[in-house]
Chain A
Amino acid sequence: MKKLVRPLTWWLVGVAVFLLNGCWLMGETPPLELTTTRSGFKVALLLPGPATDKAWNQAGYEGLKLIEQEFSAETAFVEQLEGPDLATRTREAARRFAGSGFDLVILHGGEFVPIAESIAQEFPRTRFALTGTYAGNNSNLGAVAFRFEESGYLSGVLAALRSRTNKVAYIAGFDYPSYVEEGKLFEIGAKSIKPDIEVKISYLQTWFDPNKARDTALGLAREGFDILLINADAPGLRAIREVTQLPDVYVIGHNQDQYDVAPGRVLTSVIDNVPLLLLKAATLVQLGRWEGKQYKFGMREDILRFTPFRGAVPPADEARFQKVRTEILTGALNISTEIGALPGEVREN
């Protein structure tokens, strides 16, 4: 028995020392875990289409969730407002949110530009944010927009570098000023590489008609346009899928990484980081500095970017592309033009 006692004692002393050390290292008290409380910041989102369209509307919805997460905000949204009674339903929804004390109402899309101003005027206490190019009402209605001239110019450069037929095309859903600007800079960018290149710019006047997007894309391809930038939400995906069935036709995607739609045929995709854009707006509202003007974000803020080429572009062309990109980023290359300019007055579509 006595034989056992001594080693046992030492062992216990060892364990005690170890535990004491452990306590000292770990700190005496575990960190407090606070139950998250709502910040009282309330944000609503109005969507023209369904929140699960895997495109523009869904990106908006994700932005709302990001705001909810970042600011512990209370959020709400209304979807599928697109239609003949867009104005009525939007006004109705905006009233409901403004009436229940929402701090920020986001109108997600160029569709809302015509009616945004009158709604904003109705609820001076509420801040309204449009996603799109808009000058702002100088009071409570402002806009967050992408510097699509950057993506347009660079896409044009890439398209011209890769075209074999010397014919490239830009297809977008609507001729919103931002897309008009993107389209024009697509052309300017392409011509900066090949001055004699043929560039066609086409607006579908729909975000929802799948056949129109497909027909337009196939039509252009048959005319010999071999690089197409397609920016048309869900119909655009179908167009990409079908047009890449034709030989030697390549596309540049838009909004999402669309590589998987036609692997090997999608050179790259322009990613407009809508969630981050919306977060920028919400941040400004939070700080009380949402002024009724336009806030623009682009590649420098990482809100616009291109997906990796994944071998679809030869290294020499990629290097050329990256060089132009760096020049734009540092301001060495000035691509500002009057194209896409907004008139002083709100333009009625």
Chain B
Amino acid sequence: MPQPVQLSPSEVSINPWSSIASQLRFGLVVIVALTLLVTGSLLIYSSFQTLIQETNSLQRERSRVAAETIDAYLDDLLRKLNYLARVRGLTDLPAETKQTMLEGLARHNQAYELIAVLDREGNVQSSVNPYGGAKPGPMRNSSLFIRTFFKHEDFVADVTIDPDLNQPVTTFAVPIRNAQDSVDGVLLARINLKFLNFVTSQTEVGRTGYTYVVDARNRLISRKGTTGQTVQLEDGSRLAFLQDLTITKARSLAVYHGLYGAEVLGAVAPVRNLNWLVVVELPTAEAYAPVRRQIFTMGLSLLVVVIGATGVGFLFAQRVVVPFQRLTSAAQRIRDGNLEVQVHIPDRNELGVLGQAFNTMAAQLQASFQALEQINEDLEARVASRTAELQAAFQEIETLNQQLKAENLRMGAELEVTRQLQQMLLPREAELQNIADLDIAGFMAPADEVGGDYYDVLQHNGRIKIGIGDVTGHGLESGVVMMMAQTAVRTLLANDETDPVKCMNTINRVIYENTRRMRSARNMTFALLEYEAGVFRLSGQHEDVLVLRTSGQIERIDTFELGFPLGIEPDISQFVAQIDIELAGGEVLVMYTDGITEAVNPDQEQYGIDRLCAVLTAHRGASATDLQHRVVEDVKAFIGSQKIFDDLTLLVIKKKPFPPHASPP
């Protein structure tokens, strides 16, 4: 099985609040519920207001109608009195006529308990008691008479309870006129207010409501349900609501604690004729019951609708959320490595398509993984075989390396021997100083792998032979060839051989024969310089020989025509030639091997003959040793850190400026 791909340690987890499932489920539900609740509440509130207003209007209307009924009743009574008050000369009519008129008035309405005419002195002139009873006495000092007769006002007396009738009564009085239309008497009528009870009883105020009438002095003069009882005037001033109304006339409708202590919706309407008030009170429990009922019904409906809508919204959300959750969990299982997951979304909608696509992708993924697994196995096998091969190759290399190391060690030893041989054969310092005429300085630095340079200075019977050579190649073989050349030269000098051709050819023959035997392809360039009586005789092919004249001029003597490389041909006598070189005192002759001129610096430039000449010219006055040091230092400085590839050999020969006997000891 393939390993599950590990995400970063802080793996994305689903926050239950911000998950799309929650957003869909609850977001939709919240939107629906909010919309419904807000609009529903607004509707309920506005209908609540309307209902309250309606209830209030109804209550006002009830009180107004009751007040108007009472007003109309009183109006009827008052108008008749006012009619008589307008009669010109009523006071002047004969008593009998007056009596008749008053009787007619009394018969017109049963509420008149007493009708009387007072003269200007306040005495009763005529009176009618339709139901019997006593005549009133003189009223000269009564408030009724003062107000009507003296101040010409219409007068309404306070309501009192008639002890005989056990009914509330009041008295109306109006000024009446004489023939000149001047006030000359008073007409008064005592009114039975029984009708008030009828009005208060008949005014329908719901089941528990009631009506009562309050007079100008804030006393209850009638209320529902008092008919037949012992009537008493009750002081209504304890009712704060009434106080408010009579003092400030501020309100005509209010909710307050009513006549019987319960909270009521009360409406007040004035009885215009008499400054009375009709109060209609309906306990709020009843008054606002329909409002409460309706609000309850609407609230309940709203609740049902909200629950319904919420449920439907939830179901709709489920149709999206469930497939969504299946997809999510399938995706998670795939993440955890279970590639055999398939989701089941039967809906024929976008989610169905998504589910199907998901299943296909999962299957493809599984197939891909299996293929990948196969490839992986193959790869592993191949890697294993390659590794084995590499192991073998490494073993081989290791062995070779071991061999190489051994070889190297052996060669190192060989080289060391060769180097020592080379150094051992070089002329000693003392030998060089024994030469009377010449100041000779020799230098040889072997290369890292010893080259085959050779030089020698030999003295025999006043003859001086100076040889310089360079064997091709490096190492032991070259060293051996060089030793052969040295031995040959010494042998020839010992035999007093002076013929340069014979010398050269003999040395060539030695080297040629020996290299044949050694099966070596080594050969060498070789130049021989003989000095005798101030003349140098040069033969053999080698590098140019430099002659540093006292004038500072340098002569380069080409040796190509003076010989042939030794060890190539069996006989070179035909090639060998010689030239003579004369040096004046202080003049210098310089010989070198190609290790000097072909020495390279780190930039791969060769040292070259020109640099050598320049150094020699610059220090032409110096001793041979000094010159040799200058040149060697310059070459070493030029080479720097570069490896020395070939042996460096330099011979500086200076002709002493004075005869040998004059030389310092």
Which residues in A have some Cβ–Cβ distance to B below 8 Å?
133, 135-139, 291-294, 296, 300, 302, 326, 329-332, 334, 336-338, 340-345
Check A340 against B151 for contact (C-beta < 8 Å): yes
Check A344 against B182 for contact (C-beta < 8 Å): yes
Count residues of chain B with CB under 8 A from any CB of chain A. 30
How far apart are the CA atoms of A326 and B237 in the complex, in Å? Answer: 11
Contact of B181 among A292, A300, A326 (CB under 8 A): A292
Check B217 against A341 for contact (C-beta < 8 Å): no
Check A337 against B146 for contact (C-beta < 8 Å): yes
Most chain B beta carbons < 10 A, residue from A137, A331, A338, A340:
A331
Q: How far is the CB of A21 from chain B (nearest CB, A)?
A: 10
* Given A300-B216, A336-B143: A342 and B82 interface contact (C-beta under 8 Å): no
Q: Which residues of B contact A344 (CB under 8 A)?
A: 120, 178, 180, 182-184
4 closest residue pairs by CB, A with B:
A341-B150, A344-B182, A138-B181, A135-B152
Check A296 against B218 for contact (C-beta < 8 Å): no
Check A338 against B150 for contact (C-beta < 8 Å): yes
Check B217 against A296 for contact (C-beta < 8 Å): no
Which residues in B have some Cβ–Cβ distance to A below 8 Å?
82, 85-86, 88, 120, 143, 146-147, 150-154, 158, 175, 177-178, 180-184, 216-218, 237, 246-247, 249, 275
* Given A336-B151, A344-B184: A331 and B86 interface contact (C-beta under 8 Å): no
Q: Which residues of A contact B82 (CB under 8 A)?
A: 291
How far apart are the CA atoms of A188 and B230 in the complex, in Å? Answer: 40
How far apart are the CA atoms of A54 and B652 in the complex, in Å? Answer: 152
Check B182 against A345 for contact (C-beta < 8 Å): yes
Chain A contact residues: over half helix, strand or loop, or mixed? loop
* Given A138-B177, A336-B151, A341-B150: A326 and B143 interface contact (C-beta under 8 Å): no
- B158 to chain A: closest residue by CB: A331
26 interchain pairs, CB-CB under 8 A: A135-B183, A136-B152, A138-B85, A138-B86, A138-B88, A139-B181, A292-B181, A293-B154, A294-B152, A296-B151, A300-B216, A326-B247, A329-B247, A330-B237, A330-B246, A331-B216, A338-B146, A338-B150, A340-B151, A342-B150, A342-B152, A342-B183, A343-B182, A344-B120, A344-B180, A344-B184
How far apart are the CA atoms of A205 and B82 in the complex, in Å? Answer: 36
Q: Which residues of B contact A340 (CB under 8 A)?
A: 151
Q: Which residues of A contact B180 (CB under 8 A)?
A: 344-345
Contact of A302 among B85, B182, B237, B249 (CB under 8 A): B249
Q: Which residues of A contact B86 (CB under 8 A)?
A: 138-139, 291-292
How far apart are the CA atoms of A342 and B148 in the complex, in Å? Answer: 10
Q: How far is the CB of A327 from chain B (nearest CB, A)?
A: 10
Check A294 against B182 for contact (C-beta < 8 Å): no
- B152 to chain A: closest residue by CB: A135
Check B249 against A135 for contact (C-beta < 8 Å): no
Q: Which residues of B contact A334 (CB under 8 A)?
A: 143
- With A329-B247, A330-B237 given, name 20 new contacts (CB 8 A): A133-B151, A135-B183, A138-B86, A291-B82, A291-B86, A292-B181, A293-B85, A293-B152, A294-B152, A330-B217, A330-B246, A331-B158, A336-B147, A336-B151, A341-B146, A341-B150, A342-B151, A342-B183, A344-B120, A344-B180
How far apart are the CA atoms of A291 and B143 in the complex, in Å? Answer: 23
Q: Which residues of B contact A133 (CB under 8 A)?
A: 151-152
Check A329 against B246 for contact (C-beta < 8 Å): yes
How far apart are the CA atoms of A78 and B217 in the complex, in Å? Answer: 42
How far apart are the CA atoms of A113 and B184 in the complex, in Å? Answer: 20
How far apart are the CA atoms of A300 and B152 in the complex, in Å? Answer: 19
How far apart are the CA atoms of A331 and B237 in the complex, in Å? Answer: 13
Check A332 against B150 for contact (C-beta < 8 Å): no
Q: Which residues of B contact A296 (CB under 8 A)?
A: 151, 153
Q: Which residues of B contact A345 (CB under 8 A)?
A: 180, 182
- B150 to chain A: closest residue by CB: A341
- B144 to chain A: closest residue by CB: A336
Q: Which residues of B contact A135 (CB under 8 A)?
A: 152, 175, 182-183
Q: Which residues of A contact B184 (CB under 8 A)?
A: 344
Q: How far is the CB of B152 from chain A (nearest CB, A)?
A: 4
Q: How far is the CB of B269 from chain A (nearest CB, A)?
A: 16
Q: How far is the CB of A306 from chain B (nearest CB, A)?
A: 13
Q: Which residues of B contact A336 (CB under 8 A)?
A: 143, 146-147, 151
How far apart are the CA atoms of A337 and B145 in the complex, in Å? Answer: 10
How far apart are the CA atoms of A138 and B217 in the complex, in Å? Answer: 31
Q: How far is the CB of B192 from chain A (nearest CB, A)?
A: 21
Q: How far is the CB of A123 from chain B (nearest CB, A)?
A: 16
Q: How far is the CB of A79 from chain B (nearest CB, A)?
A: 29
How far apart are the CA atoms of A136 and B88 in the complex, in Å? Answer: 12
* Given A337-B146, A340-B151: A331 and B182 interface contact (C-beta under 8 Å): no
Check A293 against B175 for contact (C-beta < 8 Å): yes
Contact of A137 among B120, B153, B181, B237 (CB under 8 A): B181
How far apart are the CA atoms of A139 and B88 in the complex, in Å? Answer: 9
- B181 to chain A: closest residue by CB: A138
- B85 to chain A: closest residue by CB: A293
Check A331 against B152 for contact (C-beta < 8 Å): no
How far apart are the CA atoms of A71 and B146 in the complex, in Å? Answer: 36
How far apart are the CA atoms of A341 and B246 in the complex, in Å? Answer: 28
Q: Which residues of B contact A136 (CB under 8 A)?
A: 152
How far apart are the CA atoms of A345 and B184 in the complex, in Å? Answer: 9
